[in-house]
């Protein structure tokens, strides 16, 4: 009986730890999403009513996984450029589509949703560049990349604590 109880509690803890954390909502009137309506996946925004559709990215390579910053003024996404189709990286863009730039050209290739810290100082993401999937953080300016996990297990889907001091 004790073993069964511990097993059930362990499974519940494991399942709840693996869920993505709730994201802060973007500006109340806008939604960011991806669509392949024009041939390949690009990032669009629109009003929550479904009006005022605007395409923010335009490239021959897919642009996916947009994630708003806690301040809702910037987002990061995973994408590439036609000039270097093999180079997938994190990009940062203002919420109006301006100021597009790679967050860090030398950072390991992202493999899942980036996660902004609640303070807007860091972006966490996973990469499998070193054989197995590891969790990295990169500062918002793109100047510093840190491998947080560096172990033989696959580590994915990092989620920030509400105060931005730790990751799960």
What CATH number did the domain enclosing 109 receive?
A: 2.120.10.30
User: Is residue 162 assigned to a domain?
Assistant: no
pTM reported for the whole predicted model:
0.73
Determine, yes or no, domain membership for 156. Answer: no
Residue 155 lies in a domain: no
Whether 74 shows a pLDDT value over 90: the answer reads no
DSSP 108: P
pLDDT at 68 over 70: yes
The radius of gyration computed from the CA coordinates of the chain, to the nearest angstrom, equals 17
Residue 154 lies in a domain: no
Task: Specify whether the CB–CB gap between 39 and 63 falls below 8 A.
Answer: no
d(C-alpha 155, C-alpha 12), whole Å:
19
pLDDT for res 135: 92
pLDDT digits (tens, 9 = 90+) for 90-140: 889 888 888 988 887 777 787 788 999 999 999 999 888 878 889 999 999
- Judge whether 70 lies within some domain: yes
- In this structure, is residue 159 part of a structural domain? no
For residue 163, being part of any structural domain is answered with no
- With pLDDT > 90 as the criterion, what percentage of the chain qualifies? 17
| Cα atoms found within 13 Å of the Cα of residue 77, Cβ hemisphere only | 26
Total domain count, the chain: 1
Residue 166 has pLDDT above 70, yes or no: yes
Within a domain: residue 48? yes
Render pLDDT for 27-64 as a digit per residue (tens, 0 to 9). 557 788 889 998 889 989 888 889 999 998 888 888 88
Residue 28's pLDDT is: 53
Residues 6+ apart with CB under 8 A from 6: none
Q: Which residues constitute the domain of residue 138?
A: 2-147
- Of the pLDDT bands very low, low, confident and very high (cuts 50, 70, 90), residue 4 is very low
């Amino acid at each position: 009986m004790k073993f069964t109880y511990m097993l059930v509690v362990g499974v519940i803890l494991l399942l709840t730890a693996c869920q993505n954390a709730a994201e802060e909502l973007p500006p109340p009137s806008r939604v960011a999403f991806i669509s392949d309506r024009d041939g390949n996946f690009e990032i669009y925004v629109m009003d929550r009513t479904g009006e005022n559709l605007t395409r923010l990215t335009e490239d021959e390579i897919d642009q996916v996984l947009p994630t708003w910053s806690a301040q809702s003024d910037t987002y990061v996404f995973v994408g590439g450029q036609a000039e270097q189709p093999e180079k997938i990286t994190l990009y940062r863009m203002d919420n109006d589509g301006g100021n597009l730039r790679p967050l860090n050209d030398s950072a390991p290739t992202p493999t899942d949703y980036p996660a902004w810290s609640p303070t807007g100082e860091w972006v966490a993401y996973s990469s499998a560049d070193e054989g197995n999937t590891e969790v990295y953080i990169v500062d918002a300016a793109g100047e510093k990349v840190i491998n947080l996990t560096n172990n033989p297990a696959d580590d994915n889907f990092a989620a920030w604590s509400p105060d931005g001091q730790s990751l799960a």
